Amino acid sequence: MSIQDILSKDTLSREDIIRLLSAETPEEIELIRSKAYNTMLEYVGDKVYLRGLIEFSNYCVNDCYYCGIRKSNANTERYLLSVEQVIEAAKLAAEFDYGSVVLQSGDRRDEQFIEYVVSCIKGIKDATKSEKYPEGLGITLCVGEQTEETYRRFFEAGAHRYLLRIETTNPELFSKIHPPQQKLEARIEALNTLKKVGFQVGTGVMIGLPGQTLDDLANDVLFFRNMDIDMIGMGPYLPHNDTPMGKQYETTEEIKKWRFELSLRMIAVCRIVLKDVNIASTTALQTIHPTGREEGLRYGANVIMPQITPTEYRKNYMLYEDKPCVSEFAAECHSCMQMRIASVGRSIAYGVWGDPLHFRNKQKN
């Protein structure tokens, strides 16, 4: 079957998805990109939604073999912003009219941490309520696996979206990149619990992991579809020298190029298959290629997360090497993002939460 035949189908099979992911000629890739772009225009429009990203702490109880802030990395200086610092950053997001913020950190499950997150959520809601934002800014959490009771506390405090990446749905690969106590089943269970609690739920994977196949990535896309996921955040796997995987595998320029292009095809395929979800063009894309985030938008993404973490802490939130935007101030990231988004002919939806239409459409049915 030709790429064109596949793209004209209503429902794609596993084989179809693998075929799209393995497209290599510029002509085939352009067909996929433009199908994804048109699907985006039809289902979610051309606006780009912004979420101010606050990386509020890099303390982590997990020890993922790929991640620079893993517990065992003694070369990272650990920090936790004060609740006031988090609220100040969120106020800046309201000033820039971003509409939403993402609170992201390493994993912790102790009561002190949970109370802290609840205080941040309530504090942000109170501090950003205005005529424009009668309920305050929208809040997305990205704070790892928690108990159902904790999810409920976060939801009741006012957070309404939650990102928890599955990283890969291949059980063998999952267990190769995580220590034994971290389980794929627990992640899946967590995603189901988050849905049950009422969150708009996002997940995603790393692309181009050593040992990962196109089959695996096709299964990941089908997993997103079966789980009825509202939001997708994905990016290329990037090495970090202070991690077991960073030390073990060599990354050549050729591998980087392949990971980048495959990441763009994954965004396009997710848009084509999932249609009305929100898809982020992530920082990792810009790390692997200078205009990676703009390219993500061209392949069907509709969300960008500008940095608003106070500048002095950014250098310590290194999930991978060469992360961009570490020495800039929030206002610089603000104007840089505007410029980047405009450079690909898109405009920003200011002053709205920008919830995924998929979530609303589900509720109508």
Residues that bind ligand 5AD (CB under 6 A): 66-67, 165, 167, 206, 235, 237-238, 240, 284, 319-320
Quick one: 38 or 251, whose CB is closer to ligand 5AD?
251
Quick one: 145 or 276, whose CB is closer to ligand 5AD?
145
**Least gap, CB of 64 to ligand 5AD (angstroms):** 7
Amino acid, res. 310:
P
**Least gap, CB of 314 to ligand 5AD (angstroms):** 14
**Least gap, CB of 67 to ligand 5AD (angstroms):** 4
**Least gap, CB of 165 to ligand 5AD (angstroms):** 4
Quick one: 190 or 206, whose CB is closer to ligand 5AD?
206
Quick one: 114 or 232, whose CB is closer to ligand 5AD?
232
Token output for 198: 């009422």
Quick one: 17 or 141, whose CB is closer to ligand 5AD?
141
**Least gap, CB of 117 to ligand 5AD (angstroms):** 16
Token output for 88: 């100040």
CB of 45 within 8 A of CB of 94? no
**Least gap, CB of 31 to ligand 5AD (angstroms):** 28
Quick one: 66 or 260, whose CB is closer to ligand 5AD?
66
Token output for 96: 């820039």
Q: Can you tell me the distance from the alpha carbon of 86 to that of 11, in angstroms, rounded to the nearest whole number? A: 43
Closest CA to 21 of 206, 213, 155, 224: 213
CB of 274 within 8 A of CB of 232? yes
Quick one: 206 or 279, whose CB is closer to ligand 5AD?
206
Q: Can you tell me the distance from the alpha carbon of 280 to that of 100, in angstroms, rounded to the nearest whole number? A: 14
CB of 103 within 8 A of CB of 93? no
Quick one: 194 or 348, whose CB is closer to ligand 5AD?
194
| Bridge partners (DSSP) listed for residue 9 | none
Instruction: Work out the burial of residue 75: count CB atoms within 10 Å of its CB; fewer than 13 is exposed, 13-18 middle, 19 or more buried.
Output: exposed
CB of 57 within 8 A of CB of 321? no
> Dihedral of the CA atoms 273, 220, 306, 304 (nearest 10)?
0
**Least gap, CB of 170 to ligand 5AD (angstroms):** 15
Cα distances (angstroms) measured from residue 183 to each of 51, 176, 189, 190:
29, 11, 10, 11
**Least gap, CB of 86 to ligand 5AD (angstroms):** 18
Quick one: 99 or 235, whose CB is closer to ligand 5AD?
235
Residues 6+ apart with CB under 8 A from 103: 54, 56, 86, 117, 120, 121, 139, 140, 141, 142, 143, 159
- Under DSSP, is residue 28 helix (H, G, I), strand (E, B) or coil? helix
**Least gap, CB of 66 to ligand 5AD (angstroms):** 4
